[in-house]
Amino acid sequence: MPQERLPLRKIKEVLGLHSLGRAQRQIAVSCAVGQATVSDSLKTAAAAGLQWPDIAEWSEDQVMQAVAPSRERPGHRNQSPEPDYAEIRHELQTNQHVTLQLLWEEYREKNSDGYWKPSVS
């Protein structure tokens, strides 16, 4: 299961406590995160050249741009419309000659940039 990304507020908190000379274990307890998360956050900040006094007043967007400038902000992608799953189910149940592959091909004709692809079993 993928691990959730640490909120930027927590990253700022980790950097602030680190600048006060706190040990990673103390920071982990104070921020309610694992010690490995503290270590990873400090390494990421160091790689990006971030130090606490410089980012103390930064917004989360500014921190995100500094930590991961090439990452796209969530929700800014061009999303294709989702297929009508109820209609797909209905077609598969009522017509014995309809296949998931055929329905996918019809979907792709209507939505050339669509994302849905049937799983092959």
Instruction: Report d(CA 98, CA 120) in Å as an integer.
Output: 15
pLDDT of residue 47: 85
Whether residue 59 sits in one domain with residue 34: yes
Cβ-based burial of 27 (10 A; exposed 0-12, middle 13-18, buried ≥19):
buried
C-alpha dihedral (54, 57, 63, 66), degrees to nearest 10:
-30
Whether residue 121 sits in one domain with residue 102: yes
Q: Residue 50 corresponds to which tokens in the numbers above?
A: 């971030």
Whether residue 100 sits in one domain with residue 63: no
Instruction: Report the 10 Å Cβ neighbour count for 6.
Output: 18
Q: Say if 87 falls within a structural domain.
A: yes
What's the mean per-residue pLDDT of the chain?
A: 80
Whether residue 62 sits in one domain with residue 14: yes
Provide mean pLDDT across the span 11-25. Answer: 90
Residues 114 and 108: beta-carbon distance below 8 Å: yes
Q: Say if 3 falls within a structural domain.
A: no
pLDDT, tens digit, for every residue of 41-97? 888 888 888 888 888 888 878 877 887 766 555 554 556 677 888 999 999 999 989
pLDDT of residue 76: 46
